[in-house]
Structure 1
Amino acid sequence: MNNQEIVSKLWNLCNVLRDDGITYHQYVTELTYILFLKMAKETETEKEIPEQYRWDQLLKPKGIDLKKFYKELLNHLGENTTGRVREIYAGASSNIDEPKNLEKLITSIDALDWYSAKEEGLGNLYEGLLEKNANEKKSGAGQYFTPRVLIDVMTKLVDPKPGERCNDPACGTFGFMIAADRHVKDQTDDLFTLSPELQEFQRKHAFSGSELVHETHRLALMNAMLHDIEGQIKLGDTLSNQGKTMKDFDVVLTNPPFGTKKGGERATRDDFTYPTSNKQLNFLQHIYRSLNANDKARAAVVLPDNVLFADGDGASIRNDLMDKCSLHTILRLPTGIFYAQGVKTNVLFFTRGKTDKDNTKEVWFYDLRTNMPSFGKTTPLKEQHFDAFIAAYNAEDRWKVQDERWNVYTREQIREKSNSLDLGLIRDDSVLDYDDLSDPIESGEEVVAQLEEAVDLIMSVVKELKSLEVSR
């Protein structure tokens, strides 16, 4: 049984819990509590868990005794343990009311093919579950899930290196940092080519993040643990003063949440030059300020179209970004790739300069939106859709790239457009271009001429018919 089949089985168990009124998202959280104990047993890492609350003990009680024991277990692990165990179970409570449903869930998980799961990787199994949850519209989880293919493309182009500190300030379930870790491991034979000191750095300090939503934070911790990542994942608001400590990073990869602050209030950070109620603009400020000013630190950030053209503080923040960083590339993403349908998004790629002025000389745009299919479940986004963009991005001489979707604007041209970055979209074949319409006077005269010709033709037919009548 492969991981995909195991994920399907685990997902189908959700049907067991529907009688308890459990949502998909609650189900994944509930699964996390139980899977943590099972996976700790399978990977022989139960030493952090008190003996009386390990997997084998959970299998013993039945009925109402099981429900009582499970509640006691959650409380104890959330309050009387340390490290990742305490973080994952902090404030944990069960939504399962019916003891037989809890029993069914535990016995079903115990019966799965864990040997195969370990062969393919327990981290991959858990990521599969998170992806399944995100693709289930009823779960509402897609709001914090970025398509895997987009994560992989962004990570490949930003190219995290061993020894670099990587961060996601709105980390969701930690997908970007998992991909960054995988990228480094692929380059270093699973870290074996690195020194022992660098191996330890990669495990404990290379990848970090912050997440505002407690339940999502719990999933991020579990995901990191299963991928052998021990870096700090904060529970909190990056846009509050807590975010001020998140700095000096070499790489930032992120997809901040869409929308404005509740009630339209501004960010509570007191170090932002341009505080605004637009969350994405605040995240953008945080990101470029959190990078090392060394001409090497870099970021790739998913942002909606409004960040490219919002005036007022928006224009000031874009100007500040282009001063402090070399904003070298903007990818205009296709529609339909996120849960929030209709949201138009982009990826901004930039590198922090050593100085705070004039770092952007030109910005290259790639239009992957216009005249593209509408992506979704029936037409999934695949890596090959990015092939031409990747080739243009990595070109030795970008000016020599022959691709109508690839365009450049100088910093002067952008300044003349009030620092708007809503540029680089090619002609849309589905939209009528009035410039292509012929002159209306000429068109009118042509129609009149054709009508006159038709009238003449009809008149000649009428004459012919009349002459036939006379001859009879």
Structure 2
Amino acid sequence: MDNQEIVQKLWNLCNVLRDDGITYHQYVTELTYILFLKMMKETGEEEKQNIPEEYRWDSLTERHGIELKTHYQKLLIDLGQESNDTLRQIYLNAQTNIDEPKNLEKIIRSINDLDWYSAKEEGLGDLYEGLLEKNASETKSGAGQYFTPRPLIDEIVKLVDPDPGERCNDPAAGTFGFMIAADRNVRKKTDDYFDLSQNEAEFQKHKAFSGVELVKDTHRLALMNAMLHDIQGDITLGDTLSELGKDMNNYDVIMTNPPFGTKQGGERPTRDDFTFTTTNKQLNFLQHIYRSLKPDGKSRAAVVLPDNVLFESGVGDKIRADLMDKCNLHTILRLPTGIFYAQGVKTNVLFFNREKTDKDNTENVWVYDLRTNMPSFGKRTPLTHKHFGDFNKAYLAEDRTKIKDERWNVFTREDIRKKDDSLDIGLIADKSLAVYENLPDPIESAEEAIGKLNQAVGLLNGVVEELKEIENGNSQYNKSEKVAETPGVYNHE
């Protein structure tokens, strides 16, 4: 049994909990509580994680009914108060949503009976990510709001290309997908860290990758995801746009997909170090990101942002100008629609480097349009790595001017200034609209159609009149015939 099959089996267990009124997202959180204990047993980590003996996996399999549920409830509370930091954070304020003891028992038995040897061979981290991806693909769960499509993450990480020894951060971490992909990228370069010294390998595991997540349950999933990928970096529960974010700085790499929308209630961020204040969360995250990069000419970022960040006027103009002053905004990727949980949302990836000075660092902005004349993405047509092939070729070209691709265009800083620093640029002609380009004037067309219809009605009226005359003539003929044929009746005509 491969991980995909195991994920499907785990996901199907959600049906057991329908009568308890549990949502998909609650189910994944509940699974995290239970899977953590099972995975610690399978990997021999129970002692290393300081899990009290009375709360280890076997304590769940040897109990039944009400006794099991009572024990499980106490387990959640007590593990949330343990001294072990990872253990405490995963179970912090944990509570079960399962009402029926028989349902809890069925889930534990089913998890215990899975093929854990195969799961370990393929990687428990990959198994857990598969579960998170399944949750995000279910529109009813609403989980897509913090789950960036894996192909998009992988392509961004490939192009940003984190190196060993670099400090990488995601200020809106979600389930920590960007940092896990960054870790995978560095491991690939270093033979799974075996090419590094012990100190360098320790840095990679404990300090290289960090993030901040605002939502408690999502933070829990991020911790579990990181641990199963052997990443022990700092994942903070909190708000980057609060005072907490002021101490987040000097990063070599930032990759992130900040939440969409305005700050709840329309209030401004609680930080006092932003040059420009706004209620637009994405613009605030953008400010935070380019300010928290190390000003050494090598630090770099890739940020997924909605279209409004590209064209919002007022403070938006000022933030974009500040970004292009402090950084070299070298590339914008206009993403297709339908790749996120909200079908209509239009997004982009901004790629930029923080430079050593704070003025006039952007000369040219290259824009790749991966949106226009693209398939309609969704469950039936998922976004895949192959869709990024031509963009990657253009992005990585030694001489970008030699790339012959209608989707690939360049705009000078002067061009952008003339547009009031709007970055809503680079979209090509939509071929689906071409059929309308040579249509005649609609009023003239309507008048012509009415004329033809009136003409047709006149012709039809003429046909009707002729048919009536014929019908009347036949009627008279039939009447006279009938009189002639009737015995005793004479035709005086």
The question of a shared fold, defined as TM-score above 0.5 by the shorter chain, is answered with: yes
Specify the alignment match of 1:39 in structure 2: 39
Distance 1:266 1:80 in 2: 36
Distance 1:105 1:438 in 2: 62
Q: 1:206-355, aligned counterparts within 5 Å?
A: 206-355=208-357
Conserved 8 A contact 1:335-1:374: yes
Distance 1:271 1:401 in 2: 41
Alignment counterpart, residue 406 of structure 2, candidates 404, 407, 427:
404
Distance 1:417 1:15 in 2: 54
Cα displacement (A) at 1:181: 0.5
Alignment counterpart, residue 152 of structure 2, candidates 135, 150, 153:
150
Specify the alignment match of 2:469 in structure 1: none
Conserved 8 A contact 1:170-1:257: yes
Distance 1:383 1:374 in 2: 16
Specify the alignment match of 1:379 in structure 2: 381
Distance 1:7 1:386 in 2: 27
Q: Structure 2: 5+ residue runs without aligned partners?
A: 453-493
Specify the alignment match of 1:58 in structure 2: 60
Which deviations, in whole Å up to 9, do the C-alpha atoms of 1:85-125 show, x marking residues without a partner? 01100100000110000000111101100000000000000
**Helix, strand or coil for the counterpart of 1:46?**
coil
Distance 1:182 1:40 in 2: 22
**Helix, strand or coil for the counterpart of 1:14?**
helix
**Helix, strand or coil for the counterpart of 1:61?**
coil
Cα displacement (A) at 1:263: 1.8
Specify the alignment match of 1:14 in structure 2: 14
Distance 1:348 1:259 in 2: 18
Distance 2:337 2:440 in 1: 35
Distance 2:82 2:133 in 1: 32
**Helix, strand or coil for the counterpart of 2:219?**
helix
**Helix, strand or coil for the counterpart of 2:258?**
coil
Alignment counterpart, residue 88 of structure 2, candidates 86, 89, 92:
86
Distance 2:134 2:2 in 1: 15
Cα displacement (A) at 1:432: 4.7
Cα displacement (A) at 1:345: 0.3
**Helix, strand or coil for the counterpart of 1:335?**
coil
Q: 1:61-140, aligned counterparts within 5 Å?
A: 61-140=63-142
TM-score by length of 2: 0.88
Distance 1:439 1:242 in 2: 60
Distance 1:200 1:325 in 2: 31
Specify the alignment match of 1:161 in structure 2: 163
Alignment counterpart, residue 367 of structure 1, candidates 366, 369, 382:
369
What fraction of aligned residue pairs are identical, expressed as a percent? 72
Which deviations, in whole Å up to 9, do the C-alpha atoms of 1:281-320 show, x marking residues without a partner? 0000000011000000000000000000000000000000
Which deviations, in whole Å up to 9, do the C-alpha atoms of 1:46-90 show, x marking residues without a partner? 012011111111211111011110011011100133210011001
Conserved 8 A contact 1:324-1:352: yes
Distance 2:343 2:400 in 1: 33
**Helix, strand or coil for the counterpart of 2:432?**
coil
Amino acid at match of 1:22: I
Conserved 8 A contact 1:334-1:345: yes
**Helix, strand or coil for the counterpart of 1:242?**
helix
Specify the alignment match of 1:27 in structure 2: 27
**Helix, strand or coil for the counterpart of 1:349?**
strand
Distance 2:32 2:161 in 1: 31
Distance 2:52 2:172 in 1: 32
Amino acid at match of 1:5: E
Distance 2:159 2:82 in 1: 43
Cα displacement (A) at 1:437: 3.9
Conserved 8 A contact 1:332-1:367: yes
**Helix, strand or coil for the counterpart of 2:54?**
helix
Cα displacement (A) at 1:245: 1.2
Q: 1:412-431, aligned counterparts within 5 Å?
A: 412-431=414-433
Specify the alignment match of 1:394 in structure 2: 396
Distance 2:103 2:225 in 1: 25
**Helix, strand or coil for the counterpart of 2:433?**
coil
Which deviations, in whole Å up to 9, do the C-alpha atoms of 1:370-393 show, x marking residues without a partner? 111111111111111100000000
Distance 1:180 1:85 in 2: 24
Conserved 8 A contact 1:49-1:81: no
Distance 2:265 2:62 in 1: 50
Distance 1:81 1:107 in 2: 29
Distance 2:109 2:382 in 1: 35
Distance 1:278 1:151 in 2: 24
Q: 1:439-450, aligned counterparts within 5 Å?
A: none
Q: Structure 1 residues 132-141 or 424-433, which shifts more? A: 424-433
**Helix, strand or coil for the counterpart of 2:254?**
strand
- 1:103–1:438 Cα change, 3 Å: closer
**Helix, strand or coil for the counterpart of 1:44?**
coil
**Helix, strand or coil for the counterpart of 2:379?**
coil
Q: Structure 1: 5+ residue runs without aligned partners?
A: 452-472
Conserved 8 A contact 1:309-1:315: yes
Conserved 8 A contact 1:22-1:96: yes
Distance 1:424 1:114 in 2: 49
Cα displacement (A) at 1:439: 9.3
Cα displacement (A) at 1:322: 0.2
Distance 2:241 2:145 in 1: 18
The Cα RMSD (Å) is 1.5
Amino acid at match of 1:21: G
**Helix, strand or coil for the counterpart of 1:79?**
coil
Distance 1:432 1:8 in 2: 44
